Amino acid sequence: MFASLARWGVRLIDYLLRKSLGVREFSDAEGCMLRIAPSRAKKRVALSDGTVVNPGDFVCEIHMWNERVPKMGPGGPDVQWALATYKGVLRSLELLADYLPNHPPYSQAVAVHGEGTVMRGLPLEQALRIWSRVGFDTMPKHAQTRLERFGRWWQNLYTSWLMWTFNAVSLREKRITEMTHCEFWISRRAFMERYGCR
């Protein structure tokens, strides 16, 4: 009973945060695993195709649709789970490529960007492998200042609540001190060349 109420509370907090940040669904198609939000680049990022994203540039920020991420088996992340997640992300990006050109302000985005909070080790390797395979540049995201490190701790705590709520197996025998952060970037040009007009 307590666990059910606690999970309901986390879902409510997640809903309220998404609303405040403008995170929304862009497709109700079966298999879509991503949501999007409008965002501005906070730093200069040089991408592998030569595109430079400058601070303040408008970007399309992608977020995992937690309710639709494949559930892990009792043993945690395995090849079957990674393959199902890969296929879901691929399908989601194809749907996003259909959406972007015709929906301002996303039609003006210079890049598509996402951030991930994952456990070190195999989960991190799988996440980086998936995003690299679908064409994104991946890079670590470090907390530089004491304030950023303090904020990162709270972010990790909240992420652990989400993991416990939506995919509890992923949190088994894990601690928030084992979490690490990474970023995924792809220029709009490269994104549309890869996923547009299918």
Question: Residue 5 in 3-state DSSP?
Answer: helix
Q: Is 70 left (phi over 0), alpha (psi -120 to 50) or beta?
A: beta
pLDDT at 52: 97
Find the domain containing 100 and state its range.
Answer: 2-195
For position 190, what pLDDT does the model report?
A: 95
Predicted confidence pLDDT, tens digits, the chain (198 residues): 778 888 998 899 999 999 999 999 999 998 899 999 999 999 999 999 999 999 999 999 999 999 998 888 777 767 788 888 889 999 999 999 999 999 999 999 999 999 987 777 666 777 788 888 899 999 877 767 777 777 778 887 888 888 778 888 877 766 777 777 889 999 999 999 999 875
* 175 Cβ contact partners less than 8 Å away, ≥ 6 residues apart: none
**CA–CA separation, 150 and 35 (whole Å):** 27
The helix (run of H) or strand (run of E) holding residue 163 is helix 146-166
The secondary element (H helix, E strand) that includes residue 162 is helix 146-166
Per-residue model confidence (pLDDT) at position 143 = 66
- Alpha carbon separation from 6 to 3, 159, 166 (Å, rounded): 5, 14, 12
pTM above 0.85, yes or no: yes
Number of domains in the chain: 1
Return the pLDDT at 160.
82
Q: Which residue has the tokens 């669904």?
A: 25
